[in-house]
A and B are shown apart, each in its own frame.
Chain A
């Protein structure tokens, strides 16, 4: 398994032959060939002739989809390069089938100015793996007091703003962010958590937390803020994007908001779609994340919401941590797990192969919807679209070996899980940046 460096030169022609081309942006789901030339999609059809010197990738039995975009990950650079760097994160993304990721600003220092945004883009360009789109902070230092300079950050390449990891406690600040962001056409992303309700909590508040004697975070800590944010989006007309939704109540509130015509969109992580609070049994710190894993009922509501479009996108919330940080008492361990390299396999295994989610819907939530909501290039295989393509084998079986991750992070609750389905080629702008086994 290698992640290839992308050269600065023009991409070679690539012919993806005989795959199942799934592109919900055009309503396409058919077997055929896809020709990439000059960094864009050149042609789609049956038995396309390969131009001379084109790279030929046999895709029989695989799915050819618009490149996946993860709108929520933590690459830790600058500040915690021991845990992840932009380069290792971007390569892990490529290995997981992501052609682009959006990097959250809770770095050290915080990405709250144009220079910091520029740094991330430069590091990403050097890495030559998945594209990295910076997300700027809402407030200076993520302190929740003074707005960061959205305009300059967007000018430097930021695609959204968020104080992720730190909920925007002040309703006034959230309101002004939603208003101010409209000048730049970017979504405001909120980590919905009412801080006084969630304070000190380490897992979902419920029967499992009561048994384990671990302070819980009630579902309402999220829902109170989801309701607030939807109302503020209604007030301002701004686009609010709700990160990592975890409860049934949140799904119902978003459904209500959308029915009112409010510009609210939302994401869910693979782990909130597949694991419950029971994973915390035995004080497993790899099941400690924020928002916490909830109940089977919440999981069902999230799956329904994803299916019917109430929840727009799937995002990983990839959050690498050092081994030692997780190897300790549950209450003291940090929140978060890595997800870039397991997301696709987990989603195919637990949602698609089980018949819960149709494969084209999965592709939409991973590729088309993120591009649409965040105004990013890609999300389509239409002629002339940028050649960002993910090729995955939906039936390839593999076992999750954290020690073999491209990411520096090893903190996953899916260690040793047998998964069915994984990316076999990741193509960005016509450059093949990742080949499984290649």
Chain B
């Protein structure tokens, strides 16, 4: 049984079921920290973390930053604009320079698949992948797992369908790995032009029609559909996408069971998801956001060498 996560968190594919469960279990005690009046524990006091965001992000960057600050780490945010990256500096030089300032961890978001691997192979610091190209977004996968586990009580045997642009989605990949490793039955549904050719080799069911997916699923994880996909010719129009694949109240009402609604954000209301679904009583979209902070605290804590059994004590903080 592997207890530790190793040096980096690059994706959910390389993690064992045991490691994923460890992160989820470690996140539990950290949830409460965010509910306090004073949202801070000293677990990572004295550690330096750089949030290296080469791609625009609001939600993920803020979520990581809160997680770091609530664990008392010192953080620096580097965005691609205004840094030497724009002067043509390579990724590896940027990273080495940061490391020369004796940091402990790097959280990296990058538009190239494999960028986090590239960095992890070349620097001593812990590397956390906050989304690399169309590869993985492991902390999003983990917070989705935590949210589903909170809702259902357990994950084993549940049926989750990922809806939309799986081809270009790092969230989809991390979800597929995480869910299947935790014993969830996984399906995908979307236009064939937005699913990888060999998607069934991931061990997932493929639904051609959204109604079949809704009929089957206990939860839908609805992916953002980017406008660029239409411009690149993968689909004819956002309007038709909504008519054929959009998750609407009407479609949900046709089945006689409840379907939990998830979305990694940011949402295109009226495209992949209708507002009354996003804001409806089956939606756990804001729970996902809340859980994001706890899961990221758990990942930071474990990578920093924190012992899982002490997470509860760690959160009590200065009482120790």
A residues touching B (Cβ–Cβ < 8 Å)?
A: 205-207, 209-216, 218, 282-283, 324, 327-332
Question: 17 A-B residue contacts at CB 8 Å?
Answer: A206-B197, A207-B198, A207-B201, A210-B197, A212-B135, A213-B113, A213-B133, A213-B135, A214-B133, A327-B92, A328-B92, A328-B118, A329-B91, A329-B110, A329-B112, A329-B114, A329-B118
Contacts across chains A and B counted by CB atoms under 8 Å: 65
Q: Is the CB of A328 within 8 A of B91?
A: yes
Q: Give Cα A333–Cα B199 distance, bound, in whole angstroms.
A: 26
For A209, the chain B residues whose CB sits under 8 A away are: 196
Which B125-169 residues sit within 8 Å CB-CB of chain A?
132-136
B residues touching A (Cβ–Cβ < 8 Å)?
A: 13, 90-92, 110, 112-115, 117-118, 121, 132-136, 170, 173, 196-199, 201-202
Q: Give Cα A212–Cα B197 distance, bound, in whole angstroms.
A: 14
For A205, the chain B residues whose CB sits under 8 A away are: 197
Q: Give Cα A332–Cα B132 distance, bound, in whole angstroms.
A: 14
Query: CB-nearest residue of chain B relative to A210?
Result: B196
For A211, the chain B residues whose CB sits under 8 A away are: 13, 173, 202
| A216, A282, A332: the one within 8 Å of B112 (CB) | A332
CB distance from B26 to the nearest CB of A (A): 27
Q: Give Cα A407–Cα B77 distance, bound, in whole angstroms.
A: 43
Query: CB-nearest residue of chain B relative to A218?
Result: B197
For B199, the chain A residues whose CB sits under 8 A away are: 210
Q: Is the CB of B114 within 8 A of A283?
A: yes
Q: Supply 16 further A-B pairs (C-beta < 8 A) apart from A206-B197, A206-B198.
A: A210-B196, A213-B135, A214-B113, A216-B197, A218-B197, A282-B114, A283-B117, A283-B118, A328-B90, A328-B118, A329-B91, A329-B110, A329-B112, A331-B112, A331-B133, A332-B112
Report, nearest first, the 8 A-B pairs whose CB atoms are least far apart: A213-B135, A283-B114, A329-B112, A210-B196, A213-B134, A213-B113, A207-B198, A207-B201
For B117, the chain A residues whose CB sits under 8 A away are: 282-283
Given A330-B114, A331-B112, A331-B113, also A213-B132 (CB < 8 A) = yes
For A207, the chain B residues whose CB sits under 8 A away are: 198, 201-202
| B92, B113, B173, B202: the one within 8 Å of A283 (CB) | B113
For A215, the chain B residues whose CB sits under 8 A away are: 134
For A327, the chain B residues whose CB sits under 8 A away are: 90, 92
For B113, the chain A residues whose CB sits under 8 A away are: 212-214, 283, 330-331
| B91, B92, B114, B201: the one within 8 Å of A212 (CB) | B114
For A218, the chain B residues whose CB sits under 8 A away are: 197
Q: Give Cα A329–Cα B91 distance, bound, in whole angstroms.
A: 8
Q: Give Cα A261–Cα B115 distance, bound, in whole angstroms.
A: 49
Query: CB-nearest residue of chain B relative to A324?
Result: B90
Q: Give Cα A209–Cα B135 distance, bound, in whole angstroms.
A: 9
For A213, the chain B residues whose CB sits under 8 A away are: 113-114, 132-136, 170, 173
For B112, the chain A residues whose CB sits under 8 A away are: 329-332
Query: CB-nearest residue of chain B relative to A208?
Result: B198
CB distance from A267 to the nearest CB of B (A): 27
Q: Give Cα A328–Cα B113 distance, bound, in whole angstroms.
A: 11
Q: Give Cα A282–Cα B8 distance, bound, in whole angstroms.
A: 14
For B90, the chain A residues whose CB sits under 8 A away are: 324, 327-328
CB distance from A146 to the nearest CB of B (A): 30
CB distance from A224 to the nearest CB of B (A): 16
For A212, the chain B residues whose CB sits under 8 A away are: 113-114, 135
Q: Give Cα A215–Cα B135 distance, bound, in whole angstroms.
A: 10
Query: CB-nearest residue of chain A relative to B166?
Result: A210
Q: Give Cα A215–Cα B197 distance, bound, in whole angstroms.
A: 11
Q: Give Cα A45–Cα B136 distance, bound, in whole angstroms.
A: 65
For B114, the chain A residues whose CB sits under 8 A away are: 212-214, 282-283, 329-331
For B118, the chain A residues whose CB sits under 8 A away are: 283, 328-330
For B135, the chain A residues whose CB sits under 8 A away are: 212-214
For A283, the chain B residues whose CB sits under 8 A away are: 113-114, 117-118
Q: Give Cα A209–Cα B170 distance, bound, in whole angstroms.
A: 13
For A206, the chain B residues whose CB sits under 8 A away are: 197-198
Q: Give Cα A324–Cα B92 distance, bound, in whole angstroms.
A: 10
Q: Give Cα A212–Cα B133 distance, bound, in whole angstroms.
A: 10
Most chain A C-beta atoms within 10 Å of own C-beta, residue among B112, B118, B133, B136: B112
Q: Is the CB of B197 within 8 A of A329?
A: no
For B136, the chain A residues whose CB sits under 8 A away are: 213
Q: Give Cα A329–Cα B115 distance, bound, in whole angstroms.
A: 6
For A329, the chain B residues whose CB sits under 8 A away are: 91, 110, 112, 114-115, 118
Q: Give Cα A218–Cα B197 distance, bound, in whole angstroms.
A: 10
For A282, the chain B residues whose CB sits under 8 A away are: 114, 117, 121
CB distance from B33 to the nearest CB of A (A): 33
For A331, the chain B residues whose CB sits under 8 A away are: 112-114, 133
Q: Give Cα A97–Cα B32 distance, bound, in whole angstroms.
A: 69
Q: Give Cα A283–Cα B133 distance, bound, in whole angstroms.
A: 13
Query: CB-nearest residue of chain B relative to A209?
Result: B196
Q: Give Cα A214–Cα B198 distance, bound, in whole angstroms.
A: 13
CB distance from A398 to the nearest CB of B (A): 27
CB distance from A411 to the nearest CB of B (A): 16
Q: Give Cα A212–Cα B114 distance, bound, in whole angstroms.
A: 7
Q: Give Cα A133–Cα B223 distance, bound, in whole angstroms.
A: 54
For B133, the chain A residues whose CB sits under 8 A away are: 213-214, 331
CB distance from B223 to the nearest CB of A (A): 14
Query: CB-nearest residue of chain B relative to A199?
Result: B232
CB distance from A213 to the nearest CB of B (A): 3
For B115, the chain A residues whose CB sits under 8 A away are: 329
CB distance from A269 to the nearest CB of B (A): 24
Q: Give Cα A211–Cα B118 distance, bound, in whole angstroms.
A: 16
Q: Give Cα A205–Cα B121 distance, bound, in whole angstroms.
A: 25
CB distance from B225 to the nearest CB of A (A): 17
Query: CB-nearest residue of chain A relative to B54?
Result: A329
Q: Give Cα A328–Cα B114 distance, bound, in whole angstroms.
A: 10
Query: CB-nearest residue of chain B relative to A196?
Result: B233
Q: Give Cα A207–Cα B198 distance, bound, in whole angstroms.
A: 6
For B13, the chain A residues whose CB sits under 8 A away are: 211
Q: Give Cα A215–Cα B134 distance, bound, in whole angstroms.
A: 9
Q: Give Cα A330–Cα B199 distance, bound, in whole angstroms.
A: 22
Q: Give Cα A329–Cα B199 distance, bound, in whole angstroms.
A: 24
Query: CB-nearest residue of chain A relative to B135?
Result: A213
CB distance from B92 to the nearest CB of A (A): 7
CB distance from B87 to the nearest CB of A (A): 16
Q: Give Cα A335–Cα B201 distance, bound, in whole angstroms.
A: 27
Query: CB-nearest residue of chain B relative to A280?
Result: B114
CB distance from A272 to the nearest CB of B (A): 20
Query: CB-nearest residue of chain A relative to B198?
Result: A207
Query: CB-nearest residue of chain B relative to A330?
Result: B114
Q: Give Cα A329–Cα B114 distance, bound, in whole angstroms.
A: 7
Most chain B C-beta atoms within 10 Å of own C-beta, residue among A205, A211, A214, A327: A211
Q: Give Cα A211–Cα B196 distance, bound, in whole angstroms.
A: 9
CB distance from A277 to the nearest CB of B (A): 11
